[in-house]
Each structure stands twice: as C-alpha cells, then as structure tokens.
Amino acid sequence: MTVSGEAVHRLQQELTAAIDEADIQRGVALARDALSQGISPLDLIQDVIRPVMKDFGEAFARLDIFLPELMGASVVVKAMQSQVLEPAIRQSGGNSVNQGTVVIGTCQGDIHDIGKNMVSLMLQVNGFKVIDLGTNVSPQTFLDTARREEADIIALSSLLTPSLPYMKDLLKRLEGLGERDRYMVIAGGAALSEEYSKRAGFDGYSEDAITAVEICKNLMKQRKGAQA
C-alpha cells in the first residue's frame, strides 16, 4: 500500500509527540495502529521513523535538545521496533532458500544500531544467513568473522563520521591480504552517501533496508554468474 502524504505527516507528528513526552506506550500504540491501517512496517520505518529521528538528530546538533532526549527518542523507537515491527516483519517473511552469508555490524566507535538491526532482520527474512556482530565492531573482527563463516558479503553500518575511516580500513586490509575479491562489501548509514561509498570503493550502498536486500541479492547473482 502506498502511504498518503497526509497519513505520513500525521504519523510523524504523533511520533514526535510520543518522543517529546517520552511515552513508550504511545509509540508502540502508534506503530500498532499504523500496521492495522495497512501501512507496512518498512514504510513506517522509512517514511515516519527515519525522518522524525533525523529531525531529532538535527535538533541535537543545534543544541536544542541534549543527549538524554536523544536517548529517550531511541528508547521509544526501539520499543516500537521490538514489540511491533520486528514480529510483523518476521511473520510476513519466509524465504527458506539460502541466499548467501552476510556478516553485518556497526563500525568501530559507533553504537547506533536501530537501522542496522532493520537491515539485519530484512536480510534474515529474505533467506540470508546473517551473522550480526552488533555495534562497535573493529575491521579485524569483521575480517576474522568473514573468514571463519566463509561469508559472501560484509555489510557495514556507520552513523558517525569518525567511524568512516574504519570502513575504509577494512577495504585496505582486504586489498593488502589479496582478499578483496573474496568478499563483497556494502555500506550504509547516515554518515555515508552514495557518492562517498562509490569513491571509497564499496560494492553497494543503500539508505534503506529493502534496497539493501535487493543489492545483496544482485551481488549474489553476479557472484554465482562469475563462478558458473
């Protein structure tokens, strides 16, 4: 279902109010209502949660709000995610064909994980084996895990600019070891742009979880094609 601009605007206002009041139950009820109106969990994330969180991030950068408020915002959104969105996505998904193995994590120095968790979940429900390393993951840990798990794809999330060098560091290490072609490396998160990720040499970039899955599927097709 395509969500009307008016409905999106109303939901954004409601979520902003729930966060302003640090009202977890209001946020959870909002997510339930939206789903019962036929809005998909992914539309809710992309069209409502992400822009509202971006606004809170900008207010934080202007010093209109402070870290406790930002943490309050993430508590409301995490409750919506764990209580409503994740169960709904798990229920709707179900591709049991193994599409490939992805090692995912948030890069060193960065503990943001709301968006990364959505990408991880969407990959799982679309048939990928996902090893989620959590947050603050060093390049060496990505590398060791990818080797141990014989991963196809390494997926890096970063919302903090100071973490970007660690993403590039992983590419450098792979090149230095002669293993750059062994793994496809994709990246996402608010610290990056498509242009940045192209320049850095990643194999894929996306700013949402659905496109992340499409990119991984396409990369796997290319890989299987190359092996055939």
Interaction pattern, residues 109-128, with ligand B12; x per rule: CB under 6 A: xxxxxxxx-xx---------
Length of the chain in terms of residues written: 228
Name which of 115 and 228 has its Cβ closer to ligand B12.
115
Query: With binding defined as CB under 6 A, does residue 197 bind ligand B12?
Result: no
- What lies within 8 Å, CB to CB, of 179 at 6+ separation is none
CA angle 112, 22, 107 (to 5 degrees): 0
3-state class (DSSP) for residue 130 = strand
Figure out which of the listed residues 21, 33, 54, 92 binds ligand B12, where binding follows CB under 6 A.
Answer: 54
Answer for the pair 134, 106: CB distance below 8 angstroms, yes or no: yes
Nearest to 172 by CA among 159, 163, 185, 161: 185
Name which of 39 and 212 has its Cβ closer to ligand B12.
212
Least separation in angstroms between CB 44 and ligand B12: 10
Interaction pattern, residues 71-110, with ligand B12; x per rule: CB under 6 A: x-xx----------------------------------xx
Which residue's CB atom is positioned nearest to ligand B12?
Answer: 115
Least separation in angstroms between CB 4 and ligand B12: 20
Question: How far, rounded to the nearest angstrom, does the alpha carbon of residue 227 sit from its chain's CA centroid?
Answer: 29
The tokens describing 185, both together, are 């490396």
Interaction pattern, residues 11-50, with ligand B12; x per rule: CB under 6 A: ----------------------------------xx--xx
| Helix (DSSP H) and strand (DSSP E) numbers for the chain | 11, 5
Dihedral sign for Cα atoms in the order 75, 77, 80, 82: negative
Name which of 207 and 228 has its Cβ closer to ligand B12.
207
Helix (H) or strand (E) holding 43: helix 41-43
Helix (H) or strand (E) holding 120: helix 114-125
Least separation in angstroms between CB 42 and ligand B12: 8
Point out which residues bind ligand B12 (CB under 6 A): 45-46, 49-50, 53-54, 56-58, 60-61, 67, 70-71, 73-74, 109-116, 118-119, 155-157, 159-161, 186-191, 206-209, 212
